[in-house]
Amino acid sequence: MLDVSIDGKNYQEMHVDGGAVAQAFLYPPSLNLKTNSARLGIKRKRVAYILRNGRLFRPEKEVKRQTLSIATQAISTMTATSGVNDTYRMYVTTNRDGVGFNLAYIDNDFTLPYKGPFDQGYMRALFEYGYDKGKAGYHWHKTPPGYQE
């Protein structure tokens, strides 16, 4: 809860993580860089580097036939799908505007199961995974996985 004061009157507001609306953003799709740049005579190379701090797809998981378990899994699936949708939206927008698209995410070759937030073993293994990918010269994904023209 956040304490706020409006016109001398005190209130409390509840806010949620921005990820409830969008997992990632680059710039609004309504801002057409290609059209605006041409209109203003701006010529420059534009390149976007998108780092998805997570996997793009969740592994299948067995769910108990209980309302709370089903609701929890449904919300997790919706959140993960929102991140994938954001990636596709960013790709389509950058492609329209002639902006180079480069995407990094935790790929399927990282197989250690997630044990929960702040698990030291998982965090260290994930750090090593990213470090090794960078050291080897990371090959940026130029399209979201599964995208077909």
DSSP codes joined into one string, 80-134: HHHHHHHHHHHHHHHHHHT-EEEEEEE-TT--PPP-STT-HHHHHHHHHHHHHHH
Please indicate, yes or no, if residue 41 is contained in any of the structural domains.
Answer: yes
Closest by alpha carbon to 139, among 107, 95, 91, 93? 107
Give the model's confidence band at 17: pLDDT under 50 very low, under 70 low, under 90 confident, else very high. Answer: confident
Structurally, the chain folds into a number of domains equal to: 1
Q: What percent of the chain is predicted at pLDDT more than 70?
A: 99
Please indicate, yes or no, if residue 3 is contained in any of the structural domains.
Answer: no
Please indicate, yes or no, if residue 119 is contained in any of the structural domains.
Answer: yes
Please indicate, yes or no, if residue 142 is contained in any of the structural domains.
Answer: no
Please indicate, yes or no, if residue 76 is contained in any of the structural domains.
Answer: yes
Quick: pLDDT tens for 43-89: 999 999 999 888 877 777 788 999 999 998 888 888 888 888 999 99
Please indicate, yes or no, if residue 146 is contained in any of the structural domains.
Answer: no
Range of the domain at 30: 22-135
Q: What is the pTM of this model?
A: 0.77
Cβ(104)–Cβ(140) under 8 Å?
yes
Please indicate, yes or no, if residue 64 is contained in any of the structural domains.
Answer: yes
Please indicate, yes or no, if residue 4 is contained in any of the structural domains.
Answer: no
Whether 103 shows a pLDDT value over 90: the answer reads yes
How far is the CA of 144 from the CAs of 51, 57, 89, 123, 148, in angstroms? 12, 11, 10, 25, 9
- Classify residue 149 as exposed, middle or buried by CB count within 10 Å of its CB (0-12, 13-18, 19+): exposed
Quick: pLDDT tens for 120-129: 999 999 999 9
